[in-house]
């Protein structure tokens, strides 16, 4: 869970709200101050736009984990060489020795979330929420008016009118 901020194009107020890591949800936002609707294209409507590849591709995280691990070993060797043989180390070496393990752990966590099915479960929840929003004919019309290519099955869905 994180936060998203965007300035309302109507009144200029910054709107801050909780969002999921992949920003799945309605791209149509409502300003908390003036009540005006605006588009925030950072949000993905899963039933319309699909899911970000990074939430379904375990091999991506496996590959990045291997690269991070290999680079970490190289930087560690470089650090050891410069400190033992040259008597110094650089800030870059220290930064890499801190950041690479963090990236490696993050990639491994995401890899295991995908492989275990936890990510698929989360995506199924986001898809169900998306399909629920698309039952609203006005919502579908607003998406189309803003250039979204809504799948045929949501165009005449028998949902409510408001």
Q: Greater confidence, 1 or 53?
A: 53
What's residue 156's pLDDT? Answer: 78
Q: How confident is the model at residue 21 (pLDDT cuts 50, 70, 90)?
A: confident
Name, in order, each residue with C-beta under 8 angstroms of 131's C-beta and a sequence gap of 6 or more: 47, 154
Element (H, E) at 2: strand 2-7
Q: How confident is the model at residue 162 (pLDDT cuts 50, 70, 90)?
A: very low
Q: What is the pLDDT of residues 121-144, one digit of tens each?
A: 999 999 999 999 999 999 999 999
What's residue 39's pLDDT? Answer: 92
What's residue 161's pLDDT? Answer: 45
- For the chain, the structural domain boundaries read 1-43, 53-148
Closest residue by Cα to residue 51 from 20, 29, 6: 20
Using alpha carbons only, what angle is made at residue 102 by residues 50 and 114, rounded to the nearest 5 degrees?
30
Q: Which of 6-20, 38-52, 98-112, 117-131 has the lowest average pLDDT?
A: 6-20
> What is the Cα Rg of the chain in Å?
22
Q: What is the pLDDT of residues 52-105, one digit of tens each?
A: 988 899 999 999 999 999 999 999 999 999 999 999 999 999 999 999 999 999
User: What is residue 24's DSSP assignment?
Assistant: B
């Amino acid at each position: 869970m994180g936060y998203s901020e965007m300035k309302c194009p109507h009144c200029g107020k910054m709107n801050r709200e909780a969002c999921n890591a992949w920003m799945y949800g309605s791209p149509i936002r409502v300003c908390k101050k003036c009540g005006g609707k605006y588009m925030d294209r950072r949000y993905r409507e899963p039933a319309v736009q699909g899911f970000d590849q990074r939430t379904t591709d375990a091999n991506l995280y496996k590959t990045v984990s291997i690269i991070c691990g290999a680079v970490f070993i190289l930087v560690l060797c470089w650090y050891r060489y410069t400190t033992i043989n040259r008597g110094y180390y650089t800030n870059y070496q220290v930064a890499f020795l801190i950041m690479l393990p963090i990236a490696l752990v993050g990639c491994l966590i995401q890899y295991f979330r995908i492989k275990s099915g936890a990510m698929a479960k989360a995506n199924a929840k986001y898809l169900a929420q998306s399909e629920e929003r698309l039952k609203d004919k006005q919502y579908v019309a607003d998406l189309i008016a803003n250039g979204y290519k809504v799948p045929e099955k949501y165009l005449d869905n028998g949902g409510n009118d408001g």
